[in-house]
Amino acid sequence: MNAALPALLRAARAGDAQAMERLLALAQPDIRRYAQRHCAATAATDDIVQETLLIVYRRVGALRELAAFGGWLVRIVQRLCMRPVMGWLRAEPLQPLEDTAAWAHRPAHELRLDLARAIDSLPPPYREALLLRDFEELTIEEMSARLGTTREAAKSRLHRARTLVREYLRDGA
């Protein structure tokens, strides 16, 4: 962003409407770039940008540290991008698995919930790799570019993510 950001943030948090308007205009290109990087469906980019701007408008007063603004924007975008994938987690509570035989005969909707919880339990780097490859169906090359890593590192993250998901499902965590 730019050097005027701290002053704009302070003024916007204090209720200055013009400062808020300038802050949103200044943040919009960064938000768009984050959305393009973190969301698979480019058609949804505009919606993600608008929702993020709305959240910033409503919640900028809750931001504790002005220096955290950029990270806060990234996290908002990431959560909005994940909403379609993880939104159905709240559908119904999950019962832990007693054993693997019980897992094999569970209804499909319960298995989907188990899988969603397993993915949600992953550390962010592994979760992102798994979602990019298995949900967004990116190639390893596209995935490594999106993650900003080498091809080998992306494959390693993906392998570790799948291993952790299998362990989660097997152990019935």
Cα of first residue to Cα of last residue in the chain, in angstroms, is 42
Using alpha carbons, select from 70, 8, 83 the residue that is nearest to residue 34.
Answer: 70
CB 63 within 8 A of CB 20: no
Calpha distance 148→146 (Å, rounded) = 5
Calpha distance 105→89 (Å, rounded) = 20
CATH annotation of 92-171: 1.10.10.10
Mean pLDDT split into 10-residue runs, the chain, 173 residues: 78 89 92 82 75 88 81 85 60 49 63 83 90 82 89 92 86 62
Using alpha carbons, select from 146, 156, 25 the residue that is nearest to residue 78.
Answer: 146
Distances 117 to 39, 68, 74, 120 between C-alpha atoms, Å? 20, 28, 22, 5
CB 161 within 8 A of CB 122: yes
Contacts (Cβ under 8 Å, ≥6 apart) of 137: none
The token pair that represents 81 in the structure block: 């991008």
Report the pLDDT value the prediction gives residue 131, as an integer from 0 to 100: 87
> Whole-prediction pTM value?
0.50
Tokens 């938000």 appear where?
31
Tokens 């097997």 appear where?
170
CATH annotation of 5-86: 1.10.1740.10
Report the pLDDT value the prediction gives residue 160, as an integer from 0 to 100: 92
Report the pLDDT value the prediction gives residue 154, as an integer from 0 to 100: 92
Domain map (residue ranges) of the chain:
5-86, 92-171
